[in-house]
Amino acid sequence: MPVRASTAIACANIAFIKYWGNRDESLRLPASGSISMNLAGLQTQTRVAFDESLHGDLLSINGQPVRGADLQRVSSILDEVRRMAGGVHYARVESQNNFPAGVGIASSAAAFAALALASSNAAGLALSEAQLSRLARRGSGSACRSIPGGFVEWRAGTGDEDSFGVSIAPPDHWALTDCILLISSAPKTTSSTEGHRLAATSPLQTSRLADAPRRLEICRSAILQRDFEALAEIVELDSNWMHAVMMTSRPPLFYWQEATLTAMREVSAARKAGLPVCYTVDAGPNIHVLCERSREDQVLALLAKLPSIQEVRLAHVGGPARTTDL
Strands, sheet with 176-182, edge to edge from the N-terminal-most edge strand = 277-281, 287-292, 176-182, 311-315
Cβ nearer to ligand DP6, comparing 89 with 142: 142
Q: Does 236 engage in binding with ligand DP6 (CB under 6 A)?
A: no
Q: Could you tell me if 160 and 130 are in contact, meaning their C-beta atoms sit under 8 angstroms apart?
A: no
Site string for ligand DP6, 31-70 (x = CB under 6 A): ---x------------------------------------
Task: List CB contacts of 85: < 8 A, sequence separation 6 or more.
Answer: 120, 123, 124, 125
Q: Does 288 engage in binding with ligand DP6 (CB under 6 A)?
A: no
Q: Does 282 engage in binding with ligand DP6 (CB under 6 A)?
A: yes
Sign of the torsion formed by the C-alpha atoms of 220, 151, 134 and 19: negative
Residue of 240, 232, 278 whose CA lies nearest to 256:
240
Residue of 60, 61, 56 whose CA lies nearest to 91:
56
> Which residues, numbered 153-192, are part of the site for ligand DP6 (CB under 6 A)?
192
One residue of 19, 151, 164, 228 binding ligand DP6 per CB under 6 A: 19
Q: Does 105 engage in binding with ligand DP6 (CB under 6 A)?
A: no
The number of helices, as runs of H, and strands, as runs of E, in the chain is: 8, 14
Q: Which stretch binds ligand DP6 (CB under 6 A): 12-20, 199-207, 219-227, 301-309?
A: 12-20
Q: Does 15 engage in binding with ligand DP6 (CB under 6 A)?
A: yes
One residue of 283, 306, 315, 317 binding ligand DP6 per CB under 6 A: 283
Cβ nearer to ligand DP6, comparing 78 with 283: 283
> Containing H/E element for 113?
helix 107-122
Residues near ligand DP6 (CB under 6 A) are 15, 18-20, 28, 34, 106, 108, 140-142, 192-193, 196, 282-283
